[in-house]
Amino acid sequence: MIGEFYDVVIDCPDPGALAEFYRQVVGGEIADSDGDWSTLVTANGRRLSVQRVEDCSPPRWPGQEHPQQVHLDVMVTDLDVAEPLVLALGATLLEGSSKHVGFRVHADPAGHPFCLVTN
């Protein structure tokens, strides 16, 4: 095991409003909200975060003209240790990701983004 499942993150134009919507649907508390990011934590500790994306086009189902906009966060203790392990499994480090502190964005072998994150 390289890391621990940590979070599901949804792109949207208004993180506070979407977090409040899901709080009313599944309960829990909004533990973090700064205008660009909101995190809902349920009573059993599950997390759902929403992040602001300017000019966000909502997905449409069915079809892939406007694909789903969700990614996973994987909590690791050390980015420098975890990164080579996911790369060996077929992940790709996405351009510009290594400049961030506390997380790195990769694509899985099918091209879906995911983040390795630390506290």
Note the pLDDT tens digit of each residue in 37-54.
999 999 999 999 999 999
Please tell me the pTM assigned to this model. Answer: 0.80
Phi-psi region for residue 90, left (φ > 0), alpha (ψ -120 to 50) or beta? Answer: left
Class of domain 11-69: alpha beta
- The structural domains of the chain, with segments of one domain joined by +, span 11-69, 76-119
Q: Tens of pLDDT along the chain (119 residues)? A: 999 999 999 999 999 999 999 999 899 999 999 999 999 999 999 999 999 999 888 887 677 887 778 899 999 999 999 999 999 999 999 988 877 889 999 999 878 899 999 98
